[in-house]
């Protein structure tokens, strides 16, 4: 396998000198950094889009001397591979970002929660962390700053999509089944080992050094009013150039399709299996928190694809990955899969399908965590946006 | 199991507990280590881990059974995991799957008689831009074709 090189972008792929961000950050106070971060309006890149400055401010404000900064590299959303690229080719950014984070929230411990599938990256990452320790960018009294000690440990995931959800991730770090917790309390107050913890996505960290160096104002001018900066999009499916692209928020779906060489496109799944599927008539919508919000997964389907096959694949994924803790998600996903199979065979009644849609909407409200709250999205959006195709299938044969 | 074998297992688990510590948060790293070296976590090892971490064996089993990369049953030396999620599905996973089944003479979910290969499906492994993809133990192989997959298996054999 290979990662392709020569990517270009306005922030993350703009080039960076190792250690630069940390040097600048340590000349500032944690309050200054929080200020710049608030100015930048950076929102979490893991999918939920929570303002990073708020999360860090809350963690920084707790008085507990033991705090944790956790980098979420579980990257399990189907179609997402940007964190893989960051952690193999741009890890300077990610770990410099983590050190700056540790300084800002006054944490001593950083944890990289790396999905088990990425275990092959460990030797290179360990070597890099060792280099940082040698260069005094990690460890005790970083860059001579006496009371700033921070180190990073790698913990591996064990093959469970749900462990990307931050409270399930913490459960698994603590040695339990990856089952999401009730919130509150939020991890910023009671996270890993009951201590204040900030969980942030890999890409979120990769933005930090640039915000510190160039300022929050500069960053906030990129993208749109509500979605500032750039986003890494993991593009795969029916196109000539599947890869990771850095584009400003606000880019239209049609612009992206043009860029990646997609032809005869019928549908685009935005946001992975738990995202939504949009038809051609909506390709002028923009990728932004205020319109099509996404953790970056873009899957392209051309005219030759059967939307129900795609939906079935998504539903099988959720049936397998539901942790089984709460009923709406455990049972609901099975029912939606059964419904999809009925549609494929053409053996359904509209009354039953309408009931399933209602079930989907109920799951979105009643499920305990984000998995069950978002898993009905492809079912609902494909049935809505591809009505003609979906309801005529079994009939034609 | 022979008593001497049991003692050897106990000793090994004891060493792992020394390495990772005896707190609850050491549980998964310990199990991952056993899984990595022996491809499964036997009942006896689960009991030993429970005893040394001072938790109920059911707790250990509940963890082993939850995570797809931990297994309570014996597996092959090489665990082949083919991605079954959408990008791989659309780019020819089915043909690759058939070729692998033919080559190894087993179906997905099964282990070869000589305990050399176990065949499993897995979900998106973050290689969608180079699909279809599979892992053999920790190693990732991408841009698969039926021929390429068979070639890779031959090299492993
Ligand atoms: C089912 C599920 C899976 C998730 N998987 C991931 C993931 O793989 N990586 C990630 O960063 N966030 C994932 N999240 C979101 C996290 O819960 C959390 O919001 C995020 O790590 C916070 O980081 P951010 O603020 O930088 O986005 C997932 C959420 C859910 C509900
Ligand atoms: S769908 Fe197979 S690697 Fe992502």
Q: Which residues contact residue A329 at a Cβ distance below 8 angstroms, ignoring those fewer than 6 apart?
A: A318, A322, A323, A363, A367, A368, A369, A371, A372, A375
Atom of ligand 2 nearest to the CA of B85: 1
Q: Is A141 left (phi over 0), alpha (psi -120 to 50) or beta?
A: left
Q: How far off is chain A from B89, nearest CA to CA, in Å? A: 8
Shortest CA distance to A394 belongs to which of A362, A347, A356?
A: A347
Q: Is A395 helix (H, G, I), strand (E, B) or coil?
A: helix
Is residue A286 exposed (0-12), middle (13-18) or buried (19+ Cβ within 10 Å)?
A: middle
Q: What is the DSSP letter of B21?
A: -
Contact A248, A229 (CB under 8 A): yes
Backbone dihedral angles phi then psi of residue A168, each to the nearest 5 degrees: -70, -40
Does the C-beta of B85 come closer than 6 Å to ligand 2?
yes
Q: Confirm or reject contact between A237 and chain B (CB < 8 A).
A: yes
Q: Give me the mean pLDDT over the B131-140 stretch.
A: 97
Q: Confirm or reject contact between A266 and chain B (CB < 8 A).
A: no
Query: What is the domain class of A230-302 according to CATH?
Result: alpha beta
A148-160 in b/e burial notation, b at 16+ Cβ within 10 A?
bebbbebbbbbbb
- For residue B126, list chain A residues with Cβ-Cβ distance below 8 A: 75, 80-81, 83-84, 115, 117-118
Of A78, A81, A118, the CB nearest to B86: A78
Cα–Cα distance for residue pair A68/A104, rounded to 1 Å: 12
pLDDT at A163: 97
Mark yes or no for CB contact A155/B123 under 8 Å.
Answer: no
Cα–Cα distance for residue pair B83/B124, rounded to 1 Å: 6
Cα–Cα distance for residue pair A5/B37, rounded to 1 Å: 35
pLDDT at A395: 64
* pLDDT band with cut points at 50, 70 and 90 for residue B74: very high
pLDDT at A4: 54
User: What residue owns the CA closest to ligand 1's atom 30?
Assistant: A165
pLDDT at A5: 60
Q: Which residues contact residue A371 at a Cβ distance below 8 angstroms, ignoring those fewer than 6 apart?
A: A161, A162, A165, A180, A274, A318, A321, A322, A323, A329
pLDDT at B3: 87
User: pLDDT digit of tens for each residue in chain A (397 aa)?
Assistant: 555 567 999 999 999 999 999 999 999 999 999 999 999 999 999 999 999 999 999 999 999 999 999 999 999 999 999 999 999 999 999 999 999 999 999 999 999 999 999 999 999 999 999 999 999 999 999 999 999 999 999 999 999 999 999 999 999 999 999 999 999 999 999 999 999 999 999 999 999 999 999 999 999 999 999 999 999 999 999 999 999 999 999 999 999 999 999 999 999 999 999 999 999 999 999 999 999 999 999 999 999 999 999 999 999 999 999 999 999 999 999 999 999 999 999 999 999 999 999 999 999 999 999 999 999 999 999 999 999 999 988 665 4
Residue of B nearest to A233 (CA): B129
With a Cβ cut-off of 6 Å, ligand 1 is lined by A 44-48, 50, 72, 74-77, 162, 164-166, 199-201, 204, 369-371
Mean pLDDT of chain B: 96
Mark yes or no for CB contact B129/A313 under 8 Å.
Answer: no
Mark yes or no for CB contact A301/B142 under 8 Å.
Answer: no
Cα–Cα distance for residue pair A221/A56, rounded to 1 Å: 22
CATH match of A307-386 with 3.40.830.10: no
CATH architecture of B78-156: 3-Layer(aba) Sandwich (3.40)
pLDDT at A397: 47
Instruction: Please state the domain extents for chain A.
Output: 5-220, 230-302, 307-386
- For residue B28, list chain A residues with Cβ-Cβ distance below 8 A: 158, 172, 175
- For A14, the token pair is 């703009």
A231 alpha carbon – ligand 2 mean position (Å): 20
Region A5-220: CATH code: 3.40.50.11540
| Ligand 1 pocket mutation pick from A40, A47, A319, A376 by most atoms within 8 angstroms of CB | A47
Containing H/E element for B121?
Answer: strand B117-122
Instruction: Please state the domain extents for chain B.
Output: 3-66, 78-156
Sheet holding B117-122, edge to edge: B117-122, B78-83, B134-136, B139-141
Interface confidence: ipTM more than 0.90? yes
Mark yes or no for CB contact B143/A117 under 8 Å.
Answer: no
pLDDT at B2: 82
Within 10 Å of residue B6's Cβ, how many Cβ atoms? 12
Does the C-beta of B133 come closer than 6 Å to ligand 2?
yes
Of B28, B123, B141, the CB nearest to A321: B123
């Amino acid at each position: 396998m290979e990662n392709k090189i020569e990517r270009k972008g306005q922030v993350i792929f703009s080039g960076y000198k190792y250690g630069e961000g940390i040097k600048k950050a340590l000349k500032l106070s944690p309050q200054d950094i929080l200020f710049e971060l608030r100015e930048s309006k950076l929102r979490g890149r893991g999918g939920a889009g929570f303002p990073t400055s708020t999360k860090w401010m809350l963690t920084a404000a707790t008085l507990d001397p033991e705090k944790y900064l956790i980098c979420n590299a579980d990257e399990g959303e189907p179609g997402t591979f940007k964190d893989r690229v960051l952690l193999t080719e741009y890890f300077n950014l990610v770990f410099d970002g983590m050190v700056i984070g540790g300084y800002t929230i006054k944490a001593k411990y950083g944890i990289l929660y790396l999905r088990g599938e990425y275990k092959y990256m460990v030797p290179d990452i360990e070597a890099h962390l060792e280099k940082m320790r040698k260069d005094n960018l990690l460890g005790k009294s970083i860059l001579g700053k006496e009371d700033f000690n921070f180190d990073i440990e790698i913990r591996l995931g064990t093959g469970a999509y749900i462990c990307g959800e931050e409270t399930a991730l913490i459960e698994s770090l603590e040695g339990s089944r990856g089952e999401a917790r009730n919130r509150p309390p939020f991890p910023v107050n009671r996270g890993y080992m009951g201590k204040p913890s900030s969980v942030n996505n890999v890409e979120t960290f990769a933005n930090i050094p640039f915000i510190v160096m160039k300022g929050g104002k500069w960053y906030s001018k990129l993208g749109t009013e509500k979605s500032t900066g750039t986003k890494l999009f993991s593009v795969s499916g029916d196109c000539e150039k599947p890869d990771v692209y850095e584009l400003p928020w606000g880019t239209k779906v049609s612009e992206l399709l043009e860029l990646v060489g997609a032809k005869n496109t019928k549908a685009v799944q935005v946001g992975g299996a738990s995202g939504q599927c949009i038809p051609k008539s909506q390709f002028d919508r923009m990728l932004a928190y205020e319109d099509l919000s996404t953790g970056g997964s873009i899957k392209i389907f051309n005219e030759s694809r059967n939307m129900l096959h795609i939906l079935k694949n998504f539903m099988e994924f959720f049936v397998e990955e539901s942790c089984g803790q709460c009923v709406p998600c455990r049972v609901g996903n099975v029912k939606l899969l059964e419904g999809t199979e009925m549609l494929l065979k053409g053996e359904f009644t509209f009354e039953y399908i309408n009931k399933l849609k209602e079930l989907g909407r109920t799951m979105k409200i009643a499920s305990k965590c984000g998995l069950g709250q978002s898993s009905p999205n492809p079912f609902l959006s494909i049935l809505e946006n591809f009505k003609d195709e979906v309801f005529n299938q079994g009939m034609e044969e | 199991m022979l008593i001497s074998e049991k003692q050897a297992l106990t000793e090994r688990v004891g060493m792992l507990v020394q390495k990772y510590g005896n707190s609850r948060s050491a549980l998964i790293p310990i199990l991952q280590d056993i899984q990595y070296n022996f491809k499964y976590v036997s009942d006896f090892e689960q009991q030993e881990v429970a005893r040394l971490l001072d938790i109920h064996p059911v707790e250990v089993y509940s963890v082993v059974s939850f995570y797809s990369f931990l297994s309570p049953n014996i597996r092959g030396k090489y665990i082949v995991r083919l991605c079954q999620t959408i990008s791989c599905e659309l780019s020819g996973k089915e043909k690759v799957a058939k070729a692998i089944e033919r080559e190894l003479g087993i179906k997905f979910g099964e282990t070869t008689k000589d305990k050399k290969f176990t065949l499993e499906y897995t979900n998106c492994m973050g290689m969608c831009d180079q699909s279809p993809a599979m892992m053999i133990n920790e190693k990732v192989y991408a841009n698969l074709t039926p021929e390429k997959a068979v070639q890779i298996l031959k090299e492993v054999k």
